[in-house]
Structure 1
Amino acid sequence: MALALYRKYRPKKLEDLLGQESNVLILKNAARQGKLGHAYLFYGPRGTGKTSTARLIAKLLNCERRARDPKFGALGEPCNACRVCEEIGANISFDVIEIDAASNRGIEEIRNIKESIAIAPAGSRFKVYIIDEAHMLTGPASNAMLKTLEEPPAHAVFILATTEYEKLPPTITSRTQRFLFKKIPKVKMLEKLSAIAKAERIAIDPPALELIAAAAEGSLRDAESMLDQLSSFEEAIDLAAAERLTGRLGFKKVDGLAELILKNDLRASLDCLAAIHEEGHNLVQLTRDLIHYVRKILTLAVNPLLAESFHLELTADEIRRAQQLAGLVNADQGVKLLRALIRAYSEMRYSPFAMIPLEIALIEHLGTTAVA
């Protein structure tokens, strides 16, 4: 069975982590100085590297070369070649225990941890407990864990990971070092996907790769999974194939519809929308993409200097295109259009007739603009 791309290209060093520069700097410095903590909390959106970082910390704590070679230890990275690093990388280490709190959330599971934590590591210096989806722990389970989390044995380290930080009780968060994992910027994700496609000899058109990066919405794991799925195509992967997989439209179609709307061309806008609907695309997602794009255009219309702030979200060509469309809109019109689209999006999500709220929004906005 083939290994999934997101597993095959999982970061092997801290510097391989994408889009988490601040976290990498802090953790590398802690590793260099021998100051890695006993309890960490990693929180942020899915697919941003939380579990991968937890495994890297397990390697850093137990790497045999780091223990015997101070010069190498000063690099703040695992060697990935010693027995312990290879065991952790292959997910077969007895001393790295990964627990899914979504299915092991009760007080009995925490009692089992408290019993096992007293036992010395089997073949490493430290036992590392990685608790994923930590916000799913029940109240009693969280309370049972407090003392162990605050003062674990010298050979034990806890790493909690969650996508919903606000659901964790303060008594848990206050006992950990907290690291926020941000969504991965589209441009950086695009660079990573291009490198993977080249290494795997996947023939894919650049617009299709850009759509995958956009559709992943900051999750590298999602992007790699979509690329993995598309790689089964026998022929070169084009934009149409990527659109069918992701259910999203490529940039050019979103840009084309935005241009028609900003030019106040109601008939052409409705024709374009009807054509997109006939192709079977997700109109709710289209409206969401349109809101984000129009917002960037409006921002550039108000302050062209803000183009620099979009360099991680849009490619250079997309920024130039947005700057061109910014010349078609003034602040008042742009704000009214955004409000109309947001209202339509809210109605579309719960309507059995997804197209109608968007059509009404365009007719009301463009009809009013034309009269004005």
Structure 2
Amino acid sequence: MAYQALYRTWRPQKFADIVGQETITKTLRNALIAQQTSHAYLFTGPRGTGKTSAAKILAKAINCPNLKNGEPCNECETCKAITAGTLNDVIEIDAASNNGVDEIRDIRDKAKYAPTAAKYKVYIIDEVHMLSTGAFNALLKTLEEPPEHVLFILATTEPHKVPLTIISRTQRFDFRRINSQDIYQRMVYILQEKEVTFEPEALKAIAKAAEGGMRDALSILDQVLSFSDNHVTLDNALQVTGSTTRALLADYMQTIQDQATAKALEILQQLLAAGKDASRFIEDLIEYSRDLLLYQKAPEMVTEIEMGSVDDHFKALSQSLAATTLYEVIDILNDMQQQLRFTNHPDIYLEVVTVKLTQLKVAAVTAQVDQPEVQSKATSQAAPEATVAALQAQVKQLTQAVDQLQSSEGQAAPVAATPRPVKRTTTPARHANPAAVYPVLDHATKENLQQLKGVWQDLLQTLSVQYRALMHASEPVAASHDGVVVSFDNDFLLERASNNPEMVDGLENGLDRLVGYTPKIIFVPQDDWPKVRQAYIEEHHRGKQPKADEKPQVTPVVEKATELFGSANIEVKDD
């Protein structure tokens, strides 16, 4: 016999086999025992949580002549035929491919006829939300008052798309996501029955990657078994799921605490070299940061979520990283997760977010986690004594200030000191400065630009890992012997590069070694560059000089063409 996937081989055959839905299975068993079953059911919930399996078990149970404690016997001819899918009285319909009015009318017409072999005729309509409006309307009357021998079971992953008129005619059961512990226990049972060896940490990684779906968990387990020759190891599980080890996540978070940018970039390069998925890595980091945050207030909850996989490094990080820092880390990672959906260069964004995270101002933790309630007397007395000493010092300073004021009475009032301007820590988005760019364009040549483009990657290799990450999304767009215009497609990177004179010096020194001269480097946003170039052409022909910080203008035709085709595909020529 051909090999069957695990989720098919181990599909639940009775209510007791359905994992994580005890409330629903108990309700259905009690209804069967009391013979108070409804004429229509609606099973809703995420994929792989047991909706279709519960529907088939209910179809067997309501037709089984040997029903015991609300469970089908799975031994009679009716149960075996339903399990094999050969009983004509149990009809499974995929609404995704049979969503028209004609198909539902056919069901309505055939539902009038009595079952041929079973007690009830059961219609299982999967993904019912895919039915058209006309099909729902055709189903309404039959669903409200079906013949006594007919049972409808509707299943869907998107109940909000099902009309309320349909929902009101059914008994609704909401299947919830299965927790990781239940998925883990089920996989342990299956592997023990198959006599397959495994590492517990590997099954925990698979259970977390399944995100509450038993079918997804068994599919991943099937892949791991094939990949690892019937032995489930943690390395193989991480390889298949694309997840990252908690030890590596802890090392990465430690670099944020230590503000070790170079070390964080090295860890990131290891992950990328190992083929880890960028989106999965960001998701793992968000979950790890959440666990650190929760562990500060509810350690029992995190221990349950991680199935006991809480090591000393995790506890130390939870004690050292403040909640405010973790809030900021999670916000930055969430924003980056959205940006990754629209880029073809995820490695660049990962490098950027790594630099950004490791340069956060890390706050100190004010309260420790897992500290004993009873502290030593010396520790309990240290805080009040320190507070008193600080207050005494402040009183002394204030007294001295009052004495000085009193001694200076009768003298001219001192001139108020002019407050020092506060240095801005953040600056608004930069715009290209025509006064700096135009002198380069006056003497720019295609030969100089091609020369610099040819050595640009070699130039970046001369920088440190941190500076190379900043300049990764840059390229020269115009060049002369005395200057080069470099565009950035990321405002954050442009801001960092513009405020880093050490890196600019390194670039200029590198150019001196590579091309024999040292042009002045001018940074511009990629979006502003076409406007600056067009404005220069217009000003050049009119013989006007630009004013400092003057925002470049562009004709409506060029602006619209740039919007439609992109700046890289537009070349403006003056006839």
What TM-score comes out, normalization by structure 2 length?
0.60
- CA change 1:76–1:320 in 2 (3 A) is farther
Any conservation in 2 of the 1:126–1:157 contact (CA below 8 Å)? yes
- CA change 1:312–1:131 in 2 (3 A) is farther
Structure 2 partner of 1:81: 75
Give the 5 Å matches for 1:321-360. Answer: 322-360=314-352
Structure 1 partner of 2:140: 146
1:362 corresponds to which letter in structure 2? Answer: T
Give the 5 Å matches for 1:129-144. Answer: 129-144=123-138
Structure 2 partner of 1:268: 263
- CA change 1:258–1:216 in 2 (3 A) is same
Distance (Å, rounded) in 1 between the aligned partners of 2:63 and 2:319: 58
1:65 corresponds to which letter in structure 2? Answer: N
SS in 2 for 1:175: coil
Any conservation in 2 of the 1:310–1:319 contact (CA below 8 Å)? no
Which deviates further from its counterpart, 45-54 or 221-230? Answer: 221-230
- Note if 1:237 corresponds to 2:229: no
Which deviates further from its counterpart, 229-238 or 97-106? Answer: 229-238
Which deviates further from its counterpart, 145-154 or 193-202? Answer: 193-202
2:48 corresponds to which letter in structure 1? Answer: G
How many residues of Structure 1 are paired with residues of Structure 2 in the alignment? 362
Any conservation in 1 of the 2:40–2:170 contact (CA below 8 Å)? yes
Which deviates further from its counterpart, 228-237 or 273-282? Answer: 228-237
- Note if 1:117 corresponds to 2:117: no
Give the 5 Å matches for 1:290-301. Answer: 290-301=285-296
Flag the structure with more relative contact order, 1 or 2, with Cα contacts below 8 A and sequence separation at least 6.
Answer: 1
Q: CA-atom RMSD, angstroms?
A: 2.0
1:52 corresponds to which letter in structure 2? Answer: S
SS in 2 for 1:158: strand
Deviation track 1:85-105 (CA, whole Å, cap 9, x = no partner) reads 111112211111000000000
Structure 1 partner of 2:305: 313
Which deviates further from its counterpart, 236-245 or 148-157? Answer: 236-245
- CA change 1:195–1:170 in 2 (3 A) is same
2:286 corresponds to which letter in structure 1? Answer: I
Structure 2 partner of 1:214: 208
- Note if 1:363 corresponds to 2:364: no
Any conservation in 2 of the 1:107–1:138 contact (CA below 8 Å)? yes
Any conservation in 2 of the 1:204–1:237 contact (CA below 8 Å)? yes
Structure 1: where are the runs of 5+ without partners? 67-71
Any conservation in 2 of the 1:135–1:162 contact (CA below 8 Å)? yes
Distance (Å, rounded) in 2 between the aligned partners of 1:157 and 1:227: 35
Which deviates further from its counterpart, 350-359 or 39-48? Answer: 350-359
Any conservation in 2 of the 1:47–1:219 contact (CA below 8 Å)? yes
Which deviates further from its counterpart, 318-327 or 41-50? Answer: 318-327
Task: Give the drift of 1:314.
Answer: 1.5
SS in 2 for 1:316: coil
Deviation track 1:187-243 (CA, whole Å, cap 9, x = no partner) reads 110111111112112233222222221221111111112222332343633223222
Distance (Å, rounded) in 1 between the aligned partners of 2:171 and 2:246: 40
- Which of the pair has more CA radius of gyration? 2
Which deviates further from its counterpart, 41-50 or 228-237? Answer: 228-237
SS in 2 for 1:198: helix
Distance (Å, rounded) in 1 between the aligned partners of 2:230 and 2:141: 57
Structure 1 partner of 2:381: none
- CA change 1:307–1:234 in 2 (3 A) is same
Distance (Å, rounded) in 1 between the aligned partners of 2:303 and 2:108: 48
Structure 1 partner of 2:220: 226
